Amino acid sequence: MRLGVLDVGSNTVHFLVVDAHPGAAPLPAYSHKAELRLAELLDGQGAISEAGVERLVGMIASSLRVAEDKGVVDILPFATSAVREAANGEEVLRRVAEETGVELRVLSGQDEARLTFLAVRRWFGWSSGRLLNLDIGGGSLEIACGLDEQPDAACSLPLGAGRLTARWLPGDVADPEQLRELRRHIRAEIATVVGEIARLGAPDHAVATSKTFKQLARMTGAAPADAGPYADRRLTRSNLAAWLPRLSAMTAAERARIPGVSEGRAKQLLAGALVADAAMDLFGLDELDVCPWALREGIILRRLDAMDGSADRRRPALTP
């Protein structure tokens, strides 16, 4: 069947059309997205601005037209931290429903961590043993660890690259004192969950998901996007640490010229790098494998699992 996943994230609103059926990997068929950066479109009270709401409604309406044109039979719409934490989040959901007919499901931070972990587990398989996954979004950092398809621990921290940039790094070039304060803030936040993860034991396989990690890996020498999803991509802490002083001294325009870094996310790259560096340090990770699947794939897989379960109940029991 052809599904559409409508992902209202803190940076990007992405409508992904996939061909999927139980027991097979979902295959992307068409992508329609816009970088709205909702995490940065907040007023002084923490509400998404009227301009932001109008842009969101317009993007969802255009996604519905894409769904019709591409033969999508069902849409899975969800929103993450930008809407979840906005002061006017309920009003935004109501406006979207009234003006487009789409009822967005707002995921909790732990939901995000669990669904992303499911996608990572399915991608790398059981041979990975105990998985630890890190995901840096626009509004939050998700951390999950476990041996099964459901993690034994799932955490969400307000350390998204967009959120931190808007609050701590408003200038075009980072102020050294603000940078030190941000570094301390990030490490203090991550330290609150290190013990919970450490109690599970050392991970057998440490993984990263999200556009931020993909761009950091590409910046430090990983294969480009056109090498395909099966190319091995890793981020090492040593390479990342070597880049941090350079990123700190760059303008957003200069960062945008780094191979693999998009213009829309260039301003956020430094904050994302600081979060990645702190997480790798505090969790004792020398390197991370970058997984091409993340939250959207996790939602698709969970939906396919539900469909497969219904089919199983209709099948006759096996007989010897």
pLDDT tens-place string over residues 23-47: 889 999 999 999 998 877 778 888 9
What residues form DSSP beta bridges with 5?
16, 76
Q: Note the pLDDT of residue 38.
A: 87
Angle at 222 between CA 220 and CA 228, to 5 degrees: 150
Contact in structure between 19 and 47 (CB atoms under 8 Å): no
Summarised one tens digit per residue, pLDDT across range 57-66 is: 999 999 999 9
Q: Note the pLDDT of residue 152.
A: 98
User: What is the residue whose two structure tokens read 């497969």?
Assistant: 308
Q: Note the pLDDT of residue 277.
A: 98
Closest CA to 262 of 275, 270, 253: 253
Summarised one tens digit per residue, pLDDT across range 213-264 is: 999 999 999 999 999 999 999 999 999 999 999 999 999 999 999 999 999 8
User: What is the residue whose two structure tokens read 């790094």?
Assistant: 169
* pLDDT above 90 coverage of the chain, percent: 88
Q: Note the pLDDT of residue 40.
A: 75
Tokens of 131: 């998985």
Say how far apart CA 308 and CA 23 lie, in whole Å: 8
Rounded to two decimals, the pTM is 0.93
Q: Note the pLDDT of residue 31.
A: 97
